[in-house]
Structure formats: C-alpha cells, structure tokens
Amino acid sequence: MYEGVVQDLIDELGQLPGIGPKGAQRIAFHLLTADESDVQRLITALTEVKAKVKFCTVCGNVAQDTLCRICADPRRDPNALCVVEEPKDVVAIERTREFTGRYHVLGGAISPIDGIGPEQLRIAELMARLGSEDITEVILATDPNIEGEATAAYLARQLRPFGLRVTRLASGLPVGGDLEYADEVTLGRAFEGRRLIDA
Amino acid sequence: MYEGVVQDLIDELGQLPGIGPKGAQRIAFHLLTADESDVQRLITALTEVKAKVKFCTVCGNVAQDTLCRICADPRRDPNALCVVEEPKDVVAIERTREFTGRYHVLGGAISPIDGIGPEQLRIAELMARLGSEDITEVILATDPNIEGEATAAYLARQLRPFGLRVTRLASGLPVGGDLEYADEVTLGRAFEGRRLIDA
C-alpha cells in the first residue's frame, strides 16, 4: 500500500521497543518531510553508537574505551559493588547520586522461559572480581520483578561463601505516589519493610 | 552523565514525534545491545527514504517517481478529488477502500500562529488542477480540528466559482466507541448530522 522504501522504514521503526505500528508510521512520515540534515544527524548518531560504544572489560557497562567512565574513576569507592541487569540501570542509579561505589552489569536476569540461565549472564566475571578486588559489600540491584528477584536470590546463595555484606534495594511505596493506587504486592512489601520513626 | 555518543543518539531519538526522554533512552540502550545487522537495516531504511522518496508533481503525495502510484494509475476515477493535509492521510483513506478517485495533498493546514497561510500550502496547484482536469467533486478531507476546519472553510469559498460539488467528511461518533466517552463537540456533531434510518 505504501511506497516500498517508506514501508521498509516503518517496519524497521516498528521493531524498536515502545514504538507500535501507528507510532512507526507517524515517525516515518515525519522523517519524510523533515530536513535532510535532521535525518542525517540521526543516521550519524546510530552509526557512531555502533562504531564507538564498547563494553567495559571490568564491569560490562557501556564504554568508549576498554574501561567505562566509572571503573576508570579512582575516586569511586572500591569496597561497594552494585550488581545490576543492564547499562541503563547504572544510569538510573547514578542519577540518584546515592551510590559512590562501582558496578557490575549482568547483561540481563535469569529467565528460564527465555533460555537465560546463570551461564548466559556475567556471573563468572562477578565471582572473579570478588576474588581479586577489595569488595566488602555487594548490593543486588536487579529489577523488582520475578526474574530480577530470582537472579538476586541465586546470587545471594552464590555469594554466601565470600562472607560479604550482601544487600538488596528496599521495596515499598514509590515516593510521591498515592497509597490507594499501590498494587497489593508493593503495599505488602511496604508493610513488611516498615521502619521506626525517630520522633 | 552518559557516554557522549549514547547521549547524542538519545537526543536525536528524542526529537522524533511521540518519543519522550524515557522512550529515547530505552530505544538507545536497545540499539546498543542489538545486533549490528538490525541497526544497519534501520540506517539503510533511513538513508533510502531520503534518497529515493520524492513528492508527486501532480498531487504532492510521496512517490518514487515523478508521479505517485495513485496519479499514475489510469483506473482511478478522474472526476473525484480528495483534498488532504498530509501524505499519511492518503494512506489512512486508502485503507478504507471507500474512495476510488484521486488526491491532492496540501502539505499542512492553515495555521496563522505557526505562520502557515494559504500561500504556504499547495492551493495554487489545486486551482490549476481544477482548471485543467475533469474534476466534478472535491472532497475536503482536512483534519476535524480548528486548523483543518479553517482550511476546509477557506477552500470551500475559493472553490465556489468553479460550480463543483464540494463535500466535507462527516463528523460523528467513532464506530466501536462508547457514547458516554464521546466529547461534547463530537456528540454535538453527531446530533447535528443525524440521519433517517430506512426501516
């Protein structure tokens, strides 16, 4: 129905996460009438990302060199290690400015239905780091969903012999949210994790 | 905060319609870990669209040649002309299979706030077609919003001297929708345009 190359672009855009068929069509027609230079900047950004972005040989985060910006920074606390699923989780935690340690990116979570077991994740690399680096606390910051919880439980068992402080991020009500709109699991966790108020 | 080239890609993606900062970040990290070949196909589709897609010299629709697929098709009814704002509107109408005539793409709608007057649209080209082609009905299929209505009203005035049948698409309740969720303007239009039932 569409001219061939336009349909190709719509198909490719529709493969991206969070873009449905309508959204892909809207973006394609926007690009059709957009300035040549705008489209060229997008093409350049895509090309550069695949050409220049590597993954940190230590932590697995995105990097432009063999080490990522965080692993290369001597001011980061070498005793605390935060284990996350994906590079985007590093970005989210960095944004809080709460954590001054280093990261380890697993590359996903254990998910038997998707054929992802511990061997498919960067767990052997994690164990190697615990043996060689001066780590005293491991924070398991995998996602608060079934796969993330399963991965955290698996890692907690694997880490037991190291005698480290192993922690998990708190679950509870989102700040700024309404109690009545919280789902029952979250509300249950918030009760379970309730804390004394210093008054 | 992000590595430079990743941030560049997020910025470029964030310029696209319907993609917010979170969505742009999600897509960028998806592309980072995606297969090289998937990203290359997207880059090719973008390059091809800008290189190959032209605009039909008759109707202004997207085309791979000097004429679009519809203007080049001798089976299309030469008497009916449907005036739309954008090429994507042609796609939407073609999908209904209700219309067998030809199109004229204005390239937008009259919008004084955005500095778009009749001169910025392909209205002179429309008048030229009415003079040279064998058109008997003009369907004004601009969007049912303020700018689209203003454009239709303007065109209706301009078309009066030609003595053609000039029509506008019906407004009313969307099929499959719930009456109680219809906004008052749409519901008002649905009343205004109510039709006798042949029973």
Non-local (6+) Cβ contacts of A98 within 8 A are none
Average pLDDT (B51-58) is 91
Of the residues A30, A50, A105, the best mutation for testing chain B's interface (the one with the most B CB atoms within 10 Å of its CB) is A50
Residue A127 Ramachandran class (φ > 0 left, ψ -120 to 50 alpha, else beta): alpha
CATH architecture of structural domain A62-168:
3-Layer(aba) Sandwich (3.40)
Locate the chain B residue with the closest alpha carbon to A41.
B12
Percent of chain B with pLDDT over 90: 57
A45 versus A180: which is more confidently predicted?
A45
What's the pTM?
0.69
Average pLDDT (A32-61) is 91
Domain boundaries, chain A: 4-52, 62-168
**Which DSSP letter does residue A54 get?**
E
State the pLDDT confidence band at A133, using cuts at 50, 70 and 90: very high
- According to CATH, what is the number of the domain A4-52? 1.10.8.420
The answer to whether B13 and A44 are in contact (CB under 8 A) is no
State the pLDDT confidence band at A170, using cuts at 50, 70 and 90: confident
State the pLDDT confidence band at B13, using cuts at 50, 70 and 90: very high
Of the residues A35, A59, A62, A90, the best mutation for testing chain B's interface (the one with the most B CB atoms within 10 Å of its CB) is A62
pLDDT value at position A173?
A: 76
Q: How far apart are CA A100 and CA A80, in angstroms?
A: 8
pLDDT for residue B58 is more than 90: yes
Q: How far apart are CA B19 and CA B42, in angstroms?
A: 17
State the pLDDT confidence band at A196, using cuts at 50, 70 and 90: low
Give the bridge partners for A167, in sequence order: A139
List pLDDT tens digits, range B92-131.
Answer: 888 888 889 999 999 999 999 989 999 999 999 999 999 9
Question: A3: part of which helix (H) or strand (E)?
Answer: none
The residue to which tokens 């280093």 are assigned: A102
- Of the listed ranges A41-45, A92-96, A117-121, B22-26, the one predicted with least confidence: A92-96
Pairs of residues, one from chain A and one from chain B, whose beta carbons lie less than 8 Å apart: 151
Q: How far apart are CA A28 and CA B91, in angstroms?
A: 12
Tell me whether residue B183 is exposed, middle or buried, using C-beta atoms within 10 angstroms of its C-beta: 0 to 12, 13 to 18, 19 or more. Answer: exposed
Indicate the average pLDDT of chain B: 88
pLDDT for residue A2 is more than 70: no
The residue to which tokens 């003079």 are assigned: B131
CB atoms B27 and A9 under 8 Å: no
pLDDT for residue A149 is more than 60: yes
- For residue A29, the chain B residues in CB contact (below 8 A) are 86-88
- For residue A33, the chain B residues in CB contact (below 8 A) are 86-87, 107
The answer to whether A64 and B4 are in contact (CB under 8 A) is yes
- For residue B53, the chain A residues in CB contact (below 8 A) are 3, 5-6, 32
Locate the chain B residue with the closest alpha carbon to A96.
B1
Non-local (6+) Cβ contacts of A158 within 8 A are A123, A127
Q: How far apart are CA A1 and CA B73, in angstroms?
A: 13
pLDDT value at position B11?
A: 93
pLDDT value at position B198?
A: 60
A153 versus B189: which is more confidently predicted?
A153
CB atoms B27 and A16 under 8 Å: yes
Nearest to B12 by CA among A123, A103, A75, A38: A38
Percent of chain A with pLDDT over 90: 57
Task: ipTM value, please give it.
Answer: 0.70
pLDDT value at position B132?
A: 94
Locate the chain B residue with the closest alpha carbon to A89.
B29
pLDDT value at position B194?
A: 76
The answer to whether B89 and B148 are in contact (CB under 8 A) is no
Average pLDDT (B159-171) is 88
What DSSP string describes A88-126? HHHHHHHHHT---SEEEE-SS--BGGGTB-GGGTTHHHH
**Cα radius of gyration (chain B):** 21
Residue B107 Ramachandran class (φ > 0 left, ψ -120 to 50 alpha, else beta): left
> What is the sign, positive or negative, of the torsion defined by CA atoms of A10, A11, A12, A17?
positive
Q: How far apart are CA A32 and CA A23, in angstroms?
A: 14
Average pLDDT (B18-29) is 91
Instruction: Tokens for B36, please give them.
Output: 């090289």
- Residue of B49, B87, B91 with shortest CB distance to A1: B91
The whole-angstrom distance between A197's CA and the closest CA on chain B is 35
Of the residues A16, A61, A85, A106, the best mutation for testing chain B's interface (the one with the most B CB atoms within 10 Å of its CB) is A16
- For residue B42, the chain A residues in CB contact (below 8 A) are 12-13, 15-16, 46
B196 versus A2: which is more confidently predicted?
B196
What DSSP string describes chain B? ---HHHHHHHHHHHTSTT--HHHHHHHHHHHHHS-HHHHHHHHHHHHHHHHH-EE-TTT--EESSSS-TTTT-TTS-TTEEEEESSHHHHHHHHHHT---SEEEE-SS--BGGGTB-GGGTTHHHHHHHHHHS---EEEE---SSHHHHHHHHHHHHHHGGGT-EEEEPPP-PPTT--GGGS-HHHHHHHHHT------
